[in-house]
Amino acid sequence: MSQDHRTGLFFARRCAYLGAMTEPLHIVGGGMAGSEAAWQAANAGIPVILHEMRPKVETFAHRTGDLAEMVCSNSFRSDDSEQNAVGLLHWEMRAAGGLIMSTADRHRLPAGGALAVDRDPFAADVTAQLKAHPNVMVSYDEITELPETGHWIFATGPLTSPALAEAISAVTGTGALAFFDAIAPIVYAESIDMSKAWLQSRYDKGETEEERTAYINCPMTKDEHEAFIDALLAADKAEFHEGETAGYFDGCLPIEVMAERGRETLRHGPMKPVGLTNPHDPKNKPYAVVQLRRDNKLGTLYNIVGFQTKMKYGAQTDVFRMIPGLQEAKFARLGGIHRNTFLNSPTLLDGEMRLRAQPNIRFAGQVTGVEGYVESAAMGLLAGRLAAAEIMGHTVPAVPQTTAMGALVTHITGGAEAKTFQPMNVNFGLFPPLDGVRGGRRGRKDRYKGYTDRAKEDWQGWLAAQEMATA
């Protein structure tokens, strides 16, 4: 008898022992959202079967069969819970006992004011914790249909398999929307010329010296910048297959697409030179700066920040080696491009993330139209808690829109305009306005602090109300 079969028999007996009130929750997809949903439901006492098709069925972007594998980046972005909406989302997930955030904290890498993680140990740790949980069984199989019975969460992410995407389209009566996402390249640290580059976080952010020197910076003069832009625009690009269209998400544009929008676009985006001083030439301010962020705990790998690309591999090495400090760069991974899918959630999902046409099914994560690892995990956290409450027969209050969680779920389930719906990061523009707070740039600091103070109080109140409803 195989180990998987023995595990399945044990889990079936456990489900029977827990009783009829705790029928299992099936979760499809073991990424950020699926892993977090499984953790939340399992901790509520619900037996969870987590279906992950990898490594039996591979994707373009994934390298392993681990759960919560990070593909595009190793960053969860800002960890500032007072002045940044994604930092507030970190805080809310920690307050809810989130698996993704607690594991990220254990595998944290220096990244200034951001939360970056050592991606491989992070994924291995998430996998080990879920497999060790007595209420979780991980099943490595591909789900290709939307079951009509049982409790299900589909958190298949942007790389939903073609068969499942077709099944979703058949049930919803509309095709899943599509855009394209690009992956940034990773460089071996030893191949970076530190006589031209230097270590510094923008504005010297961070409480420790390690945090304040978390990025490698490569400076460019105006002539070097102009030559780089010329090469970028002229480089060979990956072609799309017939029937595909390049509907990019604005928060993850390939650098060549940004350059096509204007020669100065990159210099005001990922290559902005502000908050940095070149110790090799402190009197001259760089015209542009390319930053690299540590990608693993050893500090042997760095990814080029914001340099998602659809250039062909040969063109990538030629163009990126034009960057001062990267003339001899060796790449652990070059950039790539892949097709992402997401639902028109405002028309398809109700306020509890259930499919209107088939309410035994919830969706969570990037497939719902949120963008980013943190936002995906957050929607998994909500879906897991809501599904667990429903299985136990409890009614929980709506998540306050004043919280980061509530702002996101409200946006995707009805707050957004369905005709123009596209993936969205969490941001303060999704929050209800504050009374008596100054507007504009001058009032921003106080306004953001007001948003986060209100959100923290309301989120703690919701957590307490949910615990009372499910007690």
Which residues define the annotated binding site for FAD? 29-34
Q: Are 431 and 451 in contact (CB under 8 A)?
A: yes
User: For residue 292, what are the β-bridge partners?
Assistant: 216, 304
> Between vectors from CA 86 to CA 80 and to CA 89, what angle results, nearest 5°?
95
Q: Are 357 and 169 in contact (CB under 8 A)?
A: no
Beta strands per DSSP E along 35-150: 48-51, 75-78, 108-109, 114-117, 136-139
Q: Which residues are annotated as a binding site?
A: 29-34
DSSP string for residues in 396-461 = -PPPPTTSHHHHHHHIIIIIS-GGG---B---GGGSPPPTT---TTTTHHHHHHHHHHHHHHHHHH
Query: Left if phi > 0, otherwise alpha if psi is -120 to 50, otherwise beta: which for 331?
Result: beta
Place of tokens 């400090």: 325
Other CB atoms within 10 A of residue 374 CB? 29
Please provide the size of the chain in residues.
471
Place of tokens 């957004």: 416
CA 151 to CA 362: how far, in whole Å? 8
> Between vectors from CA 80 to CA 88 and to CA 70, what angle results, nearest 5°?
80
Beta strands per DSSP E along 201-287: 215-220
